[in-house]
Chain A
Amino acid sequence: MTNEMTNEMLRAPAEVKYAAELDWLESIDDGPKPFSWRLSPRMVRLFVLGSERSDGLDREIPQKWFGDRGFVERSIVTLASDRGLLLIGDPGTGKSWLAELLAAAICRNSTLVVQGTAGTTEDHIKYSWNVSTVIAKGQSRESMIPSPIMTAMEQGVIGRFEELTRSTSDVQDALISILSEKYVSIPELDTDNTVFARPGFSIIATANSRDRGVNDLSSALKRRFNFVRIPVVTSKTSEAEIVRFRTAELLRRHRIELDVPPTLLDILLQSFADLRAAAASATSEDEKLESALSTAEQIGVLEDAILHSHFFGDRTLRAETLGGSLVGSLARRAPEDLAILNKYWHGVVEPRSQKDGGEWTSFLEGGRQTISTLS
């Protein structure tokens, strides 16, 4: 049944996708569980970071989020305390993914999500009314539509708030009262007009450190969250693992049979590393690509190249395609980004292809063509 569901959904939430694994972990978990958690903190960590042989499990649990274990541990204990968790970092560092995994492991529900935008209103985090029911039956709990956050409160589970900093300060203020009082009152009703949070309720929010300051969080709200800063992965081995892990999934999802040759993966990682180094030493915004060059972006480039090869190519991933995809995905601002990429292509890729040859030469060619098409 779960298998079927997984197959039918374009992208299954983590609790569905890893249902069997979570069931099994729950069955062997004898550790103490806070509140109504489905797994003990240690099992949550195991689920997210994967198992070791020394854990002595009968079944191997794959690693799903890659990064310093301290971040995961700090996130888990935050959720077990009475503070909300705010994952902050550059876009594409896996914040939302970690939030989803944690919610799935802790309460088997990662879908109570509010997306923060400039248009998010208080209703989105409290409740709204079903107008036709109100007209038919008047205002009652029945005609009320609880927000995902309110649902999470009622059920004592984890609610998620994506891109918290993008929402307006009204919304942030409403969140303060939810996090501190832990109830929401419904003044429109005479009776049954308070929704109390059950134990186990907490919020995982994510925030993009690149647009911090758009609606800088108030200090009152900051105080109710523990911040866990997720850095951009810079170690090549863990980055390679992430990219491999995610593309495998993608290939499975699209039912694509295609090999990602390790040399191409290397080229991808190397070029990102170069571009990051260049960005780090840039002195002005104009010398920096707009892209944060995160792991997710790398995955994006590879995805693009894979899909391109599969649907428009000869079903083999080639270095030319990868070069083209890299330029195509990173050149967002003409002319600045193109100029930077052009410089990189001339200054780094070209000499490297002369020195190392091999796939770098085709990579050089593919990128060059795309650059000339775009400019």
Chain B
Amino acid sequence: MSADMSPVVTTFDALRGQLLDAAEAFSGGGDTLSGILAGMVDDVDRMLREELEIFPVCHHSPASALAMTRRLRTKRPKVVYLELCEDLRPLLDELRNCRLPVALQAFATQLDGFPPGSGPLSVVAPVTEASAEYQAIAYALDTPGVELVLVDRSVDHVFQWLPGEPDGTASSGVEGVDGEEAALHGDAVGVEIGDLRPRFAELEAHLLHHGKVRHWSEWWDQYVEQPLTGADYDTYRQAMALIGSLFRRLRPTEDDRLAIDEERERYMWTRIREHLTASGADPADCLYVCGAFHAVSRVAEFGLAADAPPYAISPRTGTRWLYGLIPSSHSAIEAQFGLAQGSVSIAAATWAKAGRRGGVTPYRLEGQQGGRTRTKTVKTVKGSEPPATAGPAGDRLSGFLAAPPVLDGLDEDELRGWCVDIVRLARRGGYLASTADAIAVFETSILLAGLRGRARPTPYDFADAAVTCIEKDVVPGRRDVRRLCEILLGGDRIGAVGYDALPPLARDVYDRLEPLGLDLSRRTQQRVLLDLKANPELEPCSDVLWKLRYLLPDGAVRPIMGVRRLGERPIQESWDLAIGRHQRSIIELGYEGVTVEQVLEQRLRRTVWEPQATAGVALTAVADAILYLGGRRFADEFGNRAVELLATERTVDDAPEVLRRIRRLLAHYRATEPELPAWCEAFVTVGYAHYCTLLPTAFADDDTGVRQVGAMLGFLFTLESLALSLGCDRAQLELAVRQSHPEAPAKVALLWAAKTQLGLLPRDELRARCDELLSNPLVVPAFPLYLSGFVQALEPVPALAPFVVEALSKAFARLPDPVLLPWLPTLIMTLRKHVPELVPVLVREAGRTFPGGLAELDAWTPPWERPAVPIRQGRQTGEAGAAPGRSGPAAALLARHPQACDAVAALLGCPAEWPAAEVPEPGQVEVRELLARHPTTTGAIAALLDR
């Protein structure tokens, strides 16, 4: 058996040993084993015999890329078929505008034909420079007359065919990856060309164990990559096909990925055949680039000569797919496809080195940004390209056999350079490393390579050696030695999508932020200061930033100073911007619309039309629309929706929020518009009726909180004058209050407060009721609850504050210690829990009531115990000191011109009543003096009137 295999594999003793071993271990030996081995030979033969030249690739394999470059240079195919989703084709032309790695992305939010709730769907296909597919793409796009045809199923099919658990050929975004570079792909499903890995964990573990390596990337590097790097084309193809074949044959029987793979293979061959027929291309001028796994496919459609019945390609769903490029990074690719940390970087470094060595000039898209720029200087060393002999099969490898491949390990100079560099990096990282360590790392690398049977140390050996010699018991800085090695060996490379390849929205954002004079492609955080007073032209930038802040994830744009609130105009703002780092988010916004405004509008609209939207949500959207979109159109639309939502709401859970928001909006409109928008008026009238209707239920219902009822009353009382002016009927409110019969003490108190406000319950009777409560030992324990109700009532009935202070003081004064002391903690807890925001109001009122010092306390009588008459008498007789500020020239001035005070009082919801004080004759000197002493106000008014 192995005699048959020998032409193919004896060149790769180690690889052959590994593969045969694995075949034996997992076939169970005997007939099955020989079946597998024979099958493998068949597979390879079949691929070699195929009329259409098949180029098997593996992802992140510099050897693959190198073989590809050489093959393209010798064969110069006219058509390249590539295993990549066919609908991604237009994106490839944009690659040259980007700094690789980037990922091709397809994105869909409007699903049609997929289960609802499964969106948004996102597929990414990362492209690195050190890959065979990039070589093929660059060759095909930049060589006139060459056609690049993507033949794999569309992204729509990716999801159609996705098995229940999305870990088939596509691997979905890895959770829990650390570092934001690694999370660049978000939770997209990844697709890659040339996915070549054992299909079950045991096989991989077997290969790692027997290959004496730590992870898959190292296995690949040692057993495939290095031997293949110098190999000729035929050897390359055979070895790759052999691996593909083994993995295909050794797979778990229940592997449902194979079904998808075979479906894809049918798809690809069908597309190829269609293209050949349509274009009339000569198959001899074509090259089919696919993963090694697919190169040895057994589907009936395989091969141009296949006589399988035509394969019907299933239609796409109605889902609308959007396409774009997003930045990627080596670590994101490693995380997405489960590769060892640093392996993609090492592949990139190996590739760069191969390029420097000469021997082959890699293809590069014209105008490709970043990366190496020295391609021109790399000269082709004549004769160093292994010839692709076209002899008969048995002969193919003879030249290669005679001269074993030169392993592409490190050369000594390079290793020495790394050793010096790692010590330098380590020192910068806080390690006490010295030249002695550099020497030790060098020596240890060589020893390790020897122990591991490698002619020269690989980057993996070097990293191990550096860790051994430099890492001690603690990591002194942020990065440990292994991480430093990764950085040294090329580090994570993060791609960026160039301006021209950005979607219109992103380009628009970049344009509009241009005046800031920042380099937005920088990945670091940048601080900008906008002095909007000095540079009003920067206001549009500020607008964009606020919109972005609304739309982008946290951290992309962050205001350090400045707020955007209704009724405020910013003077100065400062921002921390990390736009470069969040390029993907901006690009993905681009899938939602052409401008940020459009996206914002859609998002707001979506929130207010969602089934679970509430009036509060809609009012929030109104405020957001005013803040971010300006104009009345959206605000009015969302406002009308708010009216609609409020009218149909069955619960009042939202009442506090509604009250807060509508008050703010009313204040905003009163300050900025000549009259209230129609929806505001509608909202107030609808709200008045609505809350009136619900009031009795809310009072009675145990599930409705005091806060909610308080807010309802707040709405009814504080917006009452507006509501009445719009035609509401106060009788409705009175009736609602009369119909309310709460049982919970807090709500009872609230109801009493409401009745007092409506004049249904005189203040004296309220006082009497409270006194009664306090004198009834059975009720006393519940008194704090009554109090918390009263405190809640401060919102709708602010005038109640003195009374609440009174009630509290009485409680302290009258309750006997045995009742009072255990009661105090309950009181405090109740207040803290139920009405934290109103406690300050209470404290302020108490401050006004009680004397400021201990001395005065002795002579002090609480206001509610003072006889009511003397105060009034005092005022009437003009007694100074009793009520300072209520008489005198300023008071007289106000009394003579009461309009301003009345207006303020109306706004605050206070009754505007004036004490019947004497009105002194005009022209008092004191007033003049006052104005002369404080001329600013008068000046300002004059200036306003001038305008």
Q: Please tell me if the beta carbons of A74 and B209 are within 8 angstroms of each other in the complex.
A: no
B469 to chain A: which residues have CB within 8 Å? Answer: 83, 226
Near A by CB (< 8 A), chain B positions 413-472 give 432, 434, 436-437, 440, 443-444, 447-448, 450-453, 464-465, 467-469, 471-472
Q: How far is the CA of A227 from the CA of B431 in the complex (A)?
A: 14
Are B21 and A41 in contact, with the CB atoms below 8 A? no
- The CA-CA distance from A88 to B474 in the complex, in Å, is 11
B298 in contact (CB, < 8 A): no
| With A222-B472, A223-B436: A81-B444 Cβ-Cβ less than 8 Å | yes
Q: Residue B450 contacts which of A41, A53, A70, A222 (CB distance < 8 angstroms)?
A: A41
Asked if B17 contacts A76 (CB within 8 A), the reply is no
What residue of chain A has the Cβ atom nearest to residue B453's Cβ? A42
Contacts A81-B443, A83-B440, A223-B432 given; indicate if A76 touches B468 (C-beta within 8 A).
no
B 131-179 contacts with A by CB, 8 A? none
Kindly list chain B residues whose C-beta atoms are within 8 Å of the C-beta of A73: 448, 451-452, 464
- Total number of residue pairs linking A and B with CB closer than 8 Å: 68
Q: Does B660 contact A (CB under 8 A)?
A: no
Is residue B214 contacting chain A, with contact meaning CB distance below 8 A?
yes
Q: Which of B21, B450, B452, B464 contacts A54 (CB 8 A)?
A: B21
**Contact of B473 with A227 in the complex, beta carbons under 8 Å:** yes
By secondary structure, the B interface counts as helix
Q: With an 8 A cutoff between CB atoms, is B212 at the interface?
A: yes
> In the complex, what residues of B have CB within 8 A of residue A69's CB?
212, 214
Q: Is the CB of B432 within 8 A of A219?
A: yes
B928 at interface (Cβ–Cβ under 8 A)? no
Indicate if the CB atoms of B448 and A74 lie closer than 8 Å: yes
Given A52-B210, A78-B468, also A45-B451 (CB < 8 A): yes
> CA A73 – CA B457 in complex, angstroms?
14
Chain B: interface size category: 20 to 34
Contacts of A74 in B (CB 8 A): 444, 448, 464-465, 467-468
Known pairs A74-B464, A222-B472, A222-B473; A81 contacts B447 (CB<8 A): yes
Give the chain B neighbours of A226 by CB distance below 8 A.
Answer: 440, 444, 468-469
CB nearest neighbor in B for A56: B17
B216 to chain A, nearest CB (A): 15
Instruction: Closest B residue to A209 by CB, please name it.
Output: B473
Whole-angstrom distance between the alpha carbons of A53 and B214 in the complex? 19
Chain B residues lying within 8 Å of A83, measured Cβ to Cβ, are 440, 469
Taking chain A's interface residues, is the majority helix, strand, or loop, or is none over half, making it mixed?
helix
List the A residue with the shortest CB-CB distance to B209: A52
CB contacts under 8 Å to A, within B200-225, are: 209-210, 212, 214
| A69 to B448 alpha-carbon distance, docked (Å) | 12
How many residues of chain A are within 8 Å of chain B by beta carbon? 29
Q: Is A228 an interface residue (CB 8 A)?
A: yes
CB nearest neighbor in B for A224? B436
Residues of A contacting B473 with CB < 8 Å? 88, 207, 209, 212, 217, 222, 227, 229
Q: Which of A171-221 contact B (CB under 8 A)?
A: 207, 209, 212, 217, 219
Q: Are B448 and A77 in contact (CB-based, < 8 A)?
A: yes
Smallest Cβ distance from B97 to chain A, in angstroms? 42
Contacts of A68 in B (CB 8 A): 214
- A227 CA to B436 CA, complexed, in Å: 15
Q: Is A150 at the interface (CB under 8 A from chain B)?
A: no
**Cβ of A48 < 8 Å from any Cβ of B?**
no
Query: B472 → chain A, closest Cβ, in Å?
Result: 5
Say which residue of A42, A54, A219, A223 sits within 8 Å of B210 (CB atoms). Answer: A54
Residue pair A77, B434 in contact (C-beta under 8 Å):
no
CA distance A212 to B453 in the complex (A): 36
Query: Measured between C-beta atoms, what is the minimum distance from A75 to chain B in Å?
Result: 9
Give bound CA distance, A217 to B474, whole Å.
12
Q: Tell me which residues across on chain B come within 8 A of A222, comparing CB atoms.
A: 432, 472-473
Fill in one digit per residue for B261-305: 1 if any A CB lies within 8 Å of its CB, else 0: 000000000000000000000000000000000000000000000
Per-position 1/0 for A2-29, Cβ under 8 A of B: 0000000000000000000000000000
Complex Cα spacing A41 to B452, Å: 10
From B443, which residue of chain A is reached at the shortest CB distance?
A81
B452 to A, closest residue via Cβ: A73
| B468 and A53 contacting across the interface, CB-CB below 8 Å | no
Q: Return the CB mask of A63-87 against B: 1 if under 8 Å, else 0.
A: 0000011100110111011010000
A30 to chain B, nearest CB (A): 14
Which among B209, B448, B468 has the highest number of chain A CB atoms within 10 Å? B468
A42 cross-chain contacts in B, Cβ below 8 A = 451, 453
What is the CA–CA distance of A209 and B474 in the complex, to the nearest angstrom?
Answer: 10
Distance in Å: Cβ of B143 to nearest Cβ of chain A: 45
Interchain residue pairs A-B with the least CB separation, the first 6: A77-B447, A74-B468, A41-B451, A226-B468, A222-B472, A227-B472
Point out residues on B near A: beta carbons under 8 Å.
17-18, 21, 209-210, 212, 214, 432, 434, 436-437, 440, 443-444, 447-448, 450-453, 464-465, 467-469, 471-473
